[in-house]
């Protein structure tokens, strides 16, 4: 049974369709990527999952049933719009967040101390939140998301604005929680991060889910006839070759996604007519290249 399932969820504001019938299924223990560019509808989808806003139609299910208030308390949610109470001390703020999720003070305080030590903030336990750097505040926000040991963790653009050290910390913690069998939904527009972390993905563009499933299966299905070409000359002309469904050109390189029936040797034979080819090899596309193709095909 899926930990989280969306069935044809829709949200519209006036004439603007923010989410257009998105469906996705997140299995227990999965690190699931909700991906897409800024403005694609990811945050609106998450707000419907969290019952912050109601969908106009469709269903949001937890463990195969409509969500309840107790379900929401089992979720660790890090919103895109961060918010901390600057006048509170670090410990008091984390205690407040823990108690909101039903954790007692006697249970929360030792856990808070352990977490602060883990992220090297123990000396700032009694500092006011407003006295911390932005990076330190981001650590506090992450601790507040995980402190109550949630079954399901939902992170909306968690890497936004993070320095490399804190990005590494966040990724290590996600890996640990995944190893413990917890379920994680990660919303991001940074495809490189998602490719390294996610088991399954749902790509959203203009409010619609245009690609979903196992990342490895998607790469096999979409990247089964893909070549990287490095050459001198006008690589833009590759876009017009028969059999090339898409050519992603950057400087002297092109990722060529070919039609299923097209042989790579045929394309190479055409390319050498107007390019000085230095390298031509079969290669699996990156998630970013897959996303660009998917958005192009859906347009």
Domain boundaries, the chain: 4-214, 225-283
CATH class given for the domain over 225-283: alpha beta
Distance separating alpha carbons of residues 163 and 165, to the nearest angstrom: 6
pLDDT band at residue 281 under the 50/70/90 scheme: very high
Cα diameter, the chain: 75
Supply the DSSP string of the chain, one letter for each residue: --SEEEEEEEEEETTEEEEEEEEEEE-TT-EEEEE--TTSSHHHHHHHHTTSS--SEEEEEETTEE--HHHHHTEEEE-SS----TTSBHHHHHHHHHHHTT--HHHHHHHHHHHHHHTT-GGGTTSBGGGS-HHHHHHHHHHHHHTT--SEEEEESTTTT--HHHHHHHHHHHHHHHHTT-EEEEEES-HHHHHHH-SEEEEEETTEEEEEEEHHHHHHHHSTTEEEEEEES-GGGGGGSTTEEEEEEETTEEEEEE-TT--HHHHHHHHTTTSEEEEEEE-PPPHHHHHHHHHHHH-
pLDDT tens-digit series, residues 223-245: 678 899 999 999 999 999 999 98
pLDDT tens-digit series, residues 21-40: 999 999 999 999 999 888 88
- Report the DSSP beta bridge partners of residue 258: 244
Q: Which CATH number fits domain 4-214: 3.40.50.300, 3.40.50.1970, 3.50.50.60, 2.40.50.250?
A: 3.40.50.300
Please return the burial class of 240, using the count of CB atoms within 10 Å of its CB with bins 0-12, 13-18 and 19+.
exposed
pLDDT at 222 exceeding the cut of 60: yes
Do 4-214 and 225-283 have matching folds?
no
Sign of CA dihedral 118, 119, 124, 129: negative
State the pTM of this model. 0.81
Portion of the chain with pLDDT greater than 70, in percent: 98
pLDDT tens-digit series, residues 72-90: 888 999 987 767 888 999 9
Confidence (pLDDT) at 223: 63
Please return the burial class of 95, using the count of CB atoms within 10 Å of its CB with bins 0-12, 13-18 and 19+.
buried
């Amino acid at each position: 049974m899926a930990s989280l399932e969306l069935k044809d969820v829709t949200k519209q504001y006036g004439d603007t369709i923010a989410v257009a019938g998105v469906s996705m299924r997140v299995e227990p223990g999965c690190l699931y990527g909700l991906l897409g560019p800024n403005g694609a509808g990811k945050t609106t989808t998450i707000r419907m999952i969290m019952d912050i806003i109601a969908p106009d139609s469709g269903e949001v299910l937890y463990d195969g049933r409509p969500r309840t208030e107790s379900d929401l308390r089992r979720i660790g949610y890090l919103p895109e719009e961060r918010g901390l109470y600057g006048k509170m001390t670090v410990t008091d703020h984390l205690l407040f967040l823990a108690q909101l999720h039903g954790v007692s003070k006697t249970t929360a305080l030792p856990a808070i101390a352990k977490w602060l030590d883990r992220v090297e903030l123990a000396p700032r336990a009694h500092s006011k939140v407003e006295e911390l750097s932005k990076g330190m505040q981001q650590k506090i926000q992450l601790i507040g998301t995980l402190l109550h040991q949630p079954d399901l963790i939902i992170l909306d653009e968690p890497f936004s604005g993070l320095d490399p050290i804190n990005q590494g910390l966040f990724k290590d913690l996600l890996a640990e929680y995944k190893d413990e069998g917890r379920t994680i939904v990660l919303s991001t527009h940074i495809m490189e991060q998602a490719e390294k972390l996610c088991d399954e993905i749902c790509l959203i563009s203009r409010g619609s889910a245009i690609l979903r499933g196992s990342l490895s299966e998607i790469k096999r299905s979409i990247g089964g006839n893909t070549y990287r070409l490095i050459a001198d000359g006008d690589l833009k002309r590759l876009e017009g070759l028969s059999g090339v469904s898409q050519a992603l050109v950057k400087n002297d390189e092109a990722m060529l996604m070919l039609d299923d029936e097209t042989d790579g040797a045929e394309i190479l034979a055409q390319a050498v007519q107007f390019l000085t080819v230095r390298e031509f090899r079969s290669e699996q596309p990156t998630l970013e290249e897959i996303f660009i193709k998917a958005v192009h095909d859906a347009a």
